[in-house]
A and B are shown apart, each in its own frame.
Chain A
Amino acid sequence: MSNGLALLSIFVLSVFVGFEVVAKVSTTLHTPLMSGANAIHGIILVGAISVASNATSTLSTALSIAAIILATINMVGGFVVTDRMLEMFKGKKKEVK
């Protein structure tokens, strides 16, 4: 199998996994789920670091450093804000005890 085809297979299978894992989410969790998914695509940080460490010109370096900053904000901020949302759901359980 060629490399391109292997990546395409991974893509197609991931589509189905993505459909399946969230199929039964309750309305209560729509917002945290969106926020969590938002944090996950912050993984573009990996791509940004990778292009920055192989940059060939000043322009590429500058653009990829900008991408690292944006991607870090996306990833780290996303996970922190999702955790804050979910922390509140947990607080409620404590009171029941």
Chain B
Amino acid sequence: MNRNLYDLLGLIAAVCFILALKGLSSPKSARRGNIIGAIGATLGTILVFWAPGGQHKNLLPILGAIAFGVLVGVPAARRIQMTQMPQLVALFNGVGGGAAALVSTVEYLRLGSDATTAKILATVFTVVVGCVSFSGSIITFLKLQEIMTTRPVVFPGGRFVIAATLAALLGSAGWVINSGGTKPLVIMGLLALAFGVLFVLPVGGADVPIVISLLNAFTGLTVAASGYVLQATLLIVAGTLVGASGTILTRLMAAAMGRSLFGTLFGAFTAKPQESSGATETRSVKSGSADDVAILLNYAQRVVIVPGFGLAVAQAQHTVRELADLLTSKGVDVAYGIHPVAGRMPGHMNVLLAEANVPYEQLVEMEEVNPTFPQTDVVLVVGANDVVNPAAKTTPGCPIYGMPILDVAQAGNVIFLKRSMRPGFAGIENELLYDAKTTLLFGDAKDSLTKVVSALKAL
């Protein structure tokens, strides 16, 4: 293909990516934006087969590998439960980072001694950050899938191990830049993989979404750097767009959670082993039956439902809507109080409730719902914990301290639907559970809600 035509079509693909991100920033155009992005990606991929000046070898293995990737990726994306989606995004991000590291490595091997200093630097950057993104994403996947503990993993002397790994990583990078060759590159890659693991291990469950978003931005930058190695404008534009927008998104997410980005990032260096409180909780809680809950709800003027990850796990979004509809038909004013980070990721609850066709007007964001709690008779907390935990305001030093919360304690009554007394994802005890106006209804969120609905119908 003619070089100019090739570059022009590449430019169209790059514009598609800009429009895609722009579209994804607004609810009305989000889906169209995603499709425009997919069109851009398809165009770029088809185009590369006609790249001018290429040798076009290995056509069959390439097509086979693409087919295989589609066969793995599409079913995974289609079948995944919406509750497990954050970890799937983490996994996709990780493999993207790994791919970028491999691409730069191959190009580096091909160039050999022809590589310019700038290209060697870009290769080092891609391999280091790509490997960190890959192994870090795998750890976030394991944490979110609860294959490993969601609590921060901190071991004695951990920060020295991390500092030593980082020093060795920088040293090996210097080695690659100075003398070059395959062996230093492999050692550097392995050290970067180890660093990615050590970097994410001390991150607490509540901070994992921020880390995913950050690693996403990292992968974007590695793609841009490998674009430099390959002299491919499209990769530079797309990678940089993701890197820059991902950085902004990470900051927005950290702000929504009231976390300092710096604290999250460098938690690895400052984390101290936490002494676990050995004292078992013996204070009494007030637990009620589905009938008690139904009566409380029936005579309320205003009810706010606070959904959390427990609702998602129990797939109770349809049942909760049924309950809300029933209450509305009885003249009760019903709203959903949505914490920005309820669930496992910002906006996760909105996605789930949208799936259950909850009217958009009933979804009230935190800033708007908080002032209404004093006029609210009953708050129904369905499988949420950390986002209503007053410890975020009252206990300096606890992992969620400073995070804005839903002030449900201001309401007349608080009902918690919980599976057990186990603390939430962040692993902190919730004082509100022991409050006099709190009623607990133990059990699977969906079962409990179904019982409440039938009790309410019987009233």
Residues of A within 8 A of B (CB): 3-4, 7, 10-11, 14-19, 21-57, 59-61, 63-92, 95-96
Contacts and interface: CB of A to CB of B under 8 A. Distances in A.
Contacts of A28: 27, 347, 350
B246 A34 contact: yes
B216 A34 contact: yes
Contacts of A68: 62, 65-66, 69, 99
A47 to B, nearest CB: 4
Nearest to B38: A79
A18 B242 contact: yes
Contacts of A92: 354, 357-360
A81 B92 contact: yes
Instruction: Categorize the interface residue count of chain B.
Output: 35 or more
A84 B78 contact: yes
B74 interface: yes
Secondary structure at the B interface, as helix, strand, loop or mixed, is helix
B355 A91 contact: yes
B99 A48 contact: yes
Contacts of B347: 27-32
Contacts of A87: 31
Interface of B: 17-18, 20-22, 24-27, 30-31, 33-35, 37-38, 40-41, 44-45, 47-49, 51, 54-59, 61-62, 65-66, 68-70, 72-74, 76-78, 80, 82, 85-86, 88-89, 92-93, 95-96, 98-100, 102-103, 105-107, 109-110, 118, 212-213, 216, 219-220, 223-224, 226-228, 230-249, 252-253, 256, 340, 345-348, 350-351, 354-355, 357-360, 365
A71 B354 contact: no
Contacts of B40: 40
B228 to A, nearest CB: 6
Contacts of A91: 354-355, 357
A8 to B, nearest CB: 9
A68 to B, nearest CB: 4
Secondary structure at the A interface, as helix, strand, loop or mixed, is helix
Given A23-B248, A37-B21, A72 B30 contact: no
B231 A3 contact: yes
A63 B348 CA distance: 36
A43 B118 contact: no
B18 A21 contact: yes
Contact of B44 (A46, A64, A70): A46
Contact of A48 (B68, B102, B118, B243): B102
Contact of A45 (B45, B57, B246, B252): B45
B394 to A, nearest CB: 25
9 contacts: A4-B118, A14-B244, A32-B30, A36-B33, A38-B219, A40-B37, A40-B40, A46-B47, A54-B110
A47 B220 contact: no
Contacts of A18: 21, 240-248
Nearest to B88: A81
Contacts of B241: 14, 17-18, 21, 37, 40
B106 to A, nearest CB: 4
Which among B24, B35, B109, B213 has the highest number of chain A CB atoms within 10 Å? B24
Contact of A49 (B62, B223, B252): B62
Nearest to B58: A52
A38 B89 contact: yes
B77 A81 contact: yes
A23 to B, nearest CB: 7
Given A29-B24, A45-B99, A76 B74 contact: yes
A88 B355 contact: yes
Contact of B77 (A27, A43, A80): A80
Contact of B62 (A30, A42, A53, A89): A53
A50 B44 CA distance: 11
A91 B352 CA distance: 12
Contact of A85 (B85, B92, B106): B85
A38 B96 contact: yes
Contact of B80 (A31, A56, A71, A81): A81
A67 B231 contact: no
A74 B92 contact: yes
B223 A44 contact: yes
A7 B116 CA distance: 15
Nearest to B235: A47
